[in-house]
Amino acid sequence: MNIISQAHSLSGHITVPGSKSHTIRALLLAALADGKSSIHNPLPSADCLSTAAAIPLMGSSVELNLTTEGKPGSDWIVDGAGKNLHLPTDVVNVGNSGSLLYFLSPVAATLDGWSVFTGDESIRKRPVAHMVEALNQMGAEAYVTQPGKTVCPMIIKGPVNTKNTVRTEGSVSSQYISGMMMAALRLKGTLHIELSDPKETPYLTMTQKWLEKAGAKVSISEDFKHIEVTGPETMKAFDCTIPSDWEAVAFPLIAALITNSEITIDNIDGSGTQGDDAIVEALISLGADIDWNREKETLTVRGMKKAKNGTGRLSTENLPGGEMHINLSGYPDAICAVAVISCFTEGTIYIEDIGVCRRKETDRIEVLKKELGDLGAEIETGDDFMIIRGHSPVLKDGNRNPAFKMHGGNVQSYKDHRVAMSLACLGLGLGDGEKINVADAECCAVSFPRFFEAMNGIGAGFTEQK
């Protein structure tokens, strides 16, 4: 599916789906629990549905409460396997979900016998050597099946134990660290994990809070280099409500800021368990008109002429040195949204510590350099950084800025959901007559089902190319 995006103003209220990170953790921990757990407001995305399809292979069952249209409902019931958890009865195909791969494989490794993990074409290009090494340190036999490769399919023979301290970088991803933390619930003793270069640390805190709700003893040092989880801990069934997904909030947020818009994003998560909420402070430092009402759980965003100052001009001029340095090591999935908004900001923005973004669904650093560059962006990249020298569409007086050169064109999503959503939003801020055609845009369903319908509900005017 190709989507056409062009200049539109936005207005009204929008609610983004529940958090993918929270939903997948809830499903896996419910599978480990004894009894029936209720999960309200889950994200019915492809990754979460892959998880719902995988955990029954190990003894649990999932009721999605389908609607009359056959779509997953807003309340899911998981009948946990608990003490009857067993080896997967088939190959575990994680689809496109790196979270599922890295979370469930350590749990499977607590069982005596072999498990096999694979995924779609994208997953079979993502590295698992770090996962294999960590599992072997825990006492498993873990291998990739293709000689000379570092990717899935991956085979694992358990059980693992807590005899050895696991030493690993933690820079490739935080997900396999979270997976080992979850697996520790089933192990006797204390699992010690030493990280030399921890990244995506807010997600480790998220896992810690989930495990502590289950009664587990979890310790994480202030620098995130030392983690301890003590088991075994018998999970009990639970009832939870999934908060809104900050990674999804970023897209209507930036769309409103680059258009003559005023929108309210409802059901905003103020718990602090999602590192991506740091994007609000970063954007406000550029002059963004954003009001976060924590009591009402709303985010009101005003862009361009609808901003309180009448221009909505974003600029780095009031920051030290007249430039922005934004470190995304804690929330690297924001790179696509941050890169797009940087193209509409007057000044130089350094997006730093993003090496992990080369190992996501795509090499997002190279993909953004190519696609944004083709649309007129002045962009420079390195191994773990991106520099964007952007321009606001307007001058300080609100008149058109002749230095703003972003334009329309045909772009590729590379079947990466965040790339697709960010490029579609970019098109909304272009000048009259300019259009962006986003190829393979249906991939948005991975994290934001019905993204285009939701955005059209506030005036985005996205259309499908016939």
Residues that are catalytic: 333
CA distance 441 to 65: 27
Strand partners, 191: 229
Residue 204 CA to residue 221 CA, distance in Å, equals 11
Task: Give 209: exposed, middle or buried? Use CB within 10 Å, 0-12, 13-18, 19+.
Answer: middle
Nearest to 247 by CA among 46, 418, 414: 418
Burial class for 263, CB neighbours closer than 10 Å (0-12, 13-18, 19+) = buried
Long-range CB pairs of 290-298 (<8 Å, 24+ gap) are 290/253, 292/268, 294/268, 294/270, 297/266, 297/267, 297/268, 297/269, 297/270, 298/264, 298/265, 298/266, 298/268
